Amino acid sequence: MTEAVLRDIEDGAVFGTSVDDPDATHTLHLIFAAADGTEYFVEIPRPNFASVESLRTILPVGSKSVVYLQPNNDPRDANYFQLHDGPAWFFTTPQGWIQQDPERGVTTPLEQADLGIPVPAGGTEDLSAWLPEG
């Protein structure tokens, strides 16, 4: 888990027979930057083949986030294209991305319903409430 800023969104890996395979599975990379300069390329399914440009207007690039991550240990074989050099990450759960939205306050962009986890005191207004003490 780390506190980071959503720096950018880009095309992620493609799984199929080629990049142009109409049945391929496309992903996105959400690029988070931590205060120490570490970048995290978090892979998520691409929603309805939406363009990166349209997603940049929906997801507030530059917003602060708390992200709970696990390494992407999926084997990358000959059927993967557009791979990023370096490690890729997954959110631990859809609730693993908590964001300080400039208009809506603290939200979970991938899970809008009941989180299924206890919200810490002040967690609906203060992003830092989601960080462990110490």
For residue range 11-47, list pLDDT tens digits in order.
988 899 988 898 988 889 999 999 999 999 999 988 7
What's the pLDDT band for 134 if we cut at 50, 70, 90?
very low
- CA-to-CA dists, residue 26 to 87, 89, 115, angstroms: 18, 15, 26
Per-domain boundaries in the chain: 2-92
pTM score of the predicted model: 0.83
Q: 89 Cβ partners below 8 Å, 6+ apart?
A: 40, 41, 42, 43, 69, 70, 71, 72
